[in-house]
Amino acid sequence: LQKSLKETFGADKYSRARKEVLTYMFSRPMQMALYFCTGVLEDETLFHHYALNVPFYTHFTSPIRRYADIIVHRLLSASLGASSPIKMEKEAIQKQADHCNDRKMASKRVQELSTDLFFSIFVRVR
């Protein structure tokens, strides 16, 4: 896929724009990653990462960015014995995960609507 996309981008003055549009179009329909508490899920196959083909996967970024990442860092630290367990029940952790997922989806929707709005303005002006 990557090879055929590079060929499609070309090397002319519009290649960068084609690359941005096509990359956006290909990534938009992909399923968005979701936060969840493993303690509330019965089916371990839900922990699988499709693209990496690994049975158990967790992802996090710097804990200065998002609350969900702070929780993940604290849980991983506790599970490795580097810190004491956090004082949250698994249901409370799942509730926070659901809230983070809701906010992330709302943010993505606003981004998409903003892109549509500015494209509409661009077309109208031109």
Each residue's pLDDT tens digit, 63-105: 677 788 888 888 889 989 999 988 999 999 999 999 989 998 9
Tell me, yes or no, whether 18 and 68 share the same domain. no
- Token pair for residue 77? 């630290």
Average pLDDT, integer, range 16-43: 79
- Residue 1 is predicted with a pLDDT of 67
Tell me, yes or no, whether 67 and 103 share the same domain. yes
Contact indicator for 55, 44 with CB cutoff of 8 Å: yes
Q: Which residue has the higher pLDDT, 90 or 41?
A: 90
Q: Which residue has the higher pLDDT, 78 or 58?
A: 78
Tell me, yes or no, whether 45 and 81 share the same domain. yes
Model confidence at 38: pLDDT above 70: yes
Tell me, yes or no, whether 25 and 44 share the same domain. no
C-alpha span between 18 and 60 (Å, rounded):
31
Distances in whole angstroms, Cα of residue 109 to Cα of each of 13, 95, 114, 115: 31, 21, 9, 10
| Identity at 103, one-letter amino acid code | R
Q: Which domain holds residue 79?
A: 34-125
Backbone φ and ψ for 54, nearest 5 degrees, come out as -120, 145
Model confidence at 106: pLDDT above 90: yes
- Residue 80 is predicted with a pLDDT of 92
- Residue 4 is predicted with a pLDDT of 76
Tokens 């371990």, located at residue: 44
Number of domains in the chain: 2
- The H-or-E segment that residue 114 falls in is helix 90-125
Tell me, yes or no, whether 59 and 121 share the same domain. yes
* pLDDT level of residue 32 (50, 70, 90 thresholds): confident
Tell me, yes or no, whether 23 and 38 share the same domain. no
Q: Which residue has the higher pLDDT, 121 or 126?
A: 121
Three-state DSSP class for residue 73: helix
